[in-house]
Structure 1
Amino acid sequence: MTTTDKKELLPEQCEGLLQALRARFEKNMNRHEGLDWANVQTKLEAHAEKLWSLHEMEQTGGEPDVVAYESKTGEYIFYDCSAESPKGRRSVCYDHEALESRKEHKPQNSAMEMAAAMGIELLTEEQYRALQNLGSFDLKTSSWVKTPASVRKLGGALFCDRRYDTVFVYHNGAESYYAARGFRGALSV
């Protein structure tokens, strides 16, 4: 971890992250039409713990960007917007239970545990589809998505990708992991 145990960034890390987020925001206005970066930055600066989570998203290759504003809560919603599933979050099974169930060749981590440690949530299938309306993502990779308890109880987990200009939802054993499968996260600020 490049930050302190308190999940705080150094001033120069904050500055660098805000510059990267602003550049991405301005380059991809189609993801957040009608929103103003100054308002986003003010909100971010008031929530240092969220900046830490965004930094973790950035460090693992997620390229987080604003995709929505919730007027009821006053929150900006960030998703991982990297073209492919974030490189620093691949080769992971779905959750801790799945990780513990593997007898051999265990991955180093699980998607749910990594997301929790980063302070983010896995995208739901609905959020994943909304992301795909903003561009074409996961053309070569796939991403675990939040799995309904009824599916997980039976040992499965869901993942998505985009092939043939169509978003597909698949199932796999939750303990499976592949070099081309990671997860995408969401963060509300």
Structure 2
Amino acid sequence: MSNNQERRYTDQGEGQNLPKDVVGAVERKLREGDSFSPRNTDTPEFVSAVESASKTFQLRTQEATETAGADTVRTAKPSEAKKRELSPEQSKATLQTLRVRFQNNPHLHKGVKFEDVKKSLEANPEALWSIAQMEAKGHKPDVYNTDDKGFDVGTCSKESPESARNCVYDKEAADWFRKNRPNETFNGSAVEMAQEMGIDLMDPTLYKEVLQKKGKFDLQTWSWLLTHSNIRSTDNALSGARYGGGVYVAQSIATYPYDTRAFRGSLRVSWKA
């Protein structure tokens, strides 16, 4: 290979150290994005050497890309949505906390054995994860309703949880508030917070006819409750409270947050035979 041919692939000036062989020179230029087109002045040996070096470089590049792609997939896994499942230690701690509250509030679940609840939750890791989220947010979750098919774990704190107070009802209400009251602060929406925990808002019938008949809740606060679309379409949503000796479920403007109103959540779990 002549010096001119080698310089064609190295762009090295006079006095610079040139690559020892054409392979190194070709790979360097290909990495820089150059391509090879034979000239009439190139010797057959030079053309053959360059073509061979080009093929070798392409194979290496393909292998490196495939390897990098595999590494990218492996690296991307941690950024994927995490499974709603607790570690063994977290599961044990969550069940123990629930057990203590369950035993301290027998009036909420007369005739129910905690071992049956425990067995059902151990068979439903996602439900146990949701209960842990409720616990972390101050909902004081407990079993408050049962039937032949399963049981309901709900917000059993005496007052509406502080962590969620000053919230509007749902995303639609939150979007309206951000647009129309940009200088005022609020605490998100009840529906979205419940969804993040994997639970629903408590049904108003369960709130009034079950939970509030087993204890006295929301004496100083209000709680957003599950609202049917025919009510929500009027820009209102349901919230409940106990005052004046009675329990009330009333329509409220969904876009108005109050510092004495959060929400009550509920989670349905099937019995494990």
**TM-score of the aligned structures, taking structure 1 as reference length:** 0.93
Q: Kindly indicate whether the alpha-carbon contact (under 8 Å) linking 1:99 and 1:106 is maintained by their aligned counterparts in 2.
A: no
1:81 aligns with 2:156: yes
Query: Partner of 2:75 in structure 1?
Result: none
Judged with a 3 Å threshold, the aligned counterparts in structure 2 of structure 1 residues 27 and 61 are, in CA distance, closer, same or farther, namely same
Q: Which one of 177, 181, 186 corresponds to residue 257 of structure 2?
A: 177
Cα distance in structure 2, aligned partners of 1:82 and 1:133: 15
Cα distance in structure 2, aligned partners of 1:61 and 1:112: 16
Q: Which one of 152, 155, 171 corresponds to residue 96 of structure 1?
A: 171
Taking the TM superposition and a 5 Å limit, the aligned residue runs for 1:137-152 are: 137-152=217-232
Q: Kindly indicate whether the alpha-carbon contact (under 8 Å) linking 2:164 and 2:187 is maintained by their aligned counterparts in 1.
A: no
* CA offset digits 1:158-186 (Å, max 9, x no partner): 11100122101222211111111000011
Query: Partner of 2:188 in structure 1?
Result: 109
Q: Which one of 131, 134, 139 corresponds to residue 211 of structure 2?
A: 131
* CA offset digits 1:126-147 (Å, max 9, x no partner): 0111110010000011101112
* CA offset digits 1:102-160 (Å, max 9, x no partner): 12225241111111111111112101111100100000111011122122111111111
Aligned structure 1 segments of 4 or more residues deviating by more than 3 angstroms: none
Which structure's CA Rg is the greater one?
2
Q: Which one of 76, 80, 93 corresponds to residue 16 of structure 1?
A: 93
Query: Partner of 1:188 in structure 2?
Result: 268
* CA offset digits 1:67-86 (Å, max 9, x no partner): 12221x2x121111100001
Query: Partner of 2:118 in structure 1?
Result: 41
Cα distance in structure 2, aligned partners of 1:28 and 1:107: 33
Q: Kindly indicate whether the alpha-carbon contact (under 8 Å) linking 1:125 and 1:146 is maintained by their aligned counterparts in 2.
A: yes
Query: Partner of 1:54 in structure 2?
Result: 131
Q: Kindly indicate whether the alpha-carbon contact (under 8 Å) linking 2:109 and 2:145 is maintained by their aligned counterparts in 1.
A: yes
Q: Kindly indicate whether the alpha-carbon contact (under 8 Å) linking 1:57 and 1:64 is maintained by their aligned counterparts in 2.
A: yes
Q: Kindly indicate whether the alpha-carbon contact (under 8 Å) linking 2:202 and 2:226 is maintained by their aligned counterparts in 1.
A: yes
CA RMSD of the aligned region, Å? 1.3
1:66 aligns with 2:143: yes
Q: Kindly indicate whether the alpha-carbon contact (under 8 Å) linking 2:165 and 2:187 is maintained by their aligned counterparts in 1.
A: no
Q: Kindly indicate whether the alpha-carbon contact (under 8 Å) linking 1:70 and 1:77 is maintained by their aligned counterparts in 2.
A: no
1:167 aligns with 2:247: yes
Unpaired segments ≥5 residues, structure 1? none
Cα distance in structure 2, aligned partners of 1:5 and 1:91: 29
Q: Report the residue type matching 2:261 in the other structure.
A: R
1:12 counterpart SS class: helix
Cα distance in structure 1, aligned partners of 2:268 and 2:235: 29
Q: Report the residue type matching 1:131 in the other structure.
A: L
Q: Report the residue type matching 2:153 in the other structure.
A: F
Unpaired segments ≥5 residues, structure 2? 1-80
Cα distance in structure 2, aligned partners of 1:165 and 1:24: 26
Identical-residue share of aligned pairs (%) = 40
Give the paired residue count. 184
Cα distance in structure 2, aligned partners of 1:84 and 1:49: 26
2:218 counterpart SS class: coil
Q: Report the residue type matching 2:96 in the other structure.
A: Q
Query: Partner of 1:31 in structure 2?
Result: 108
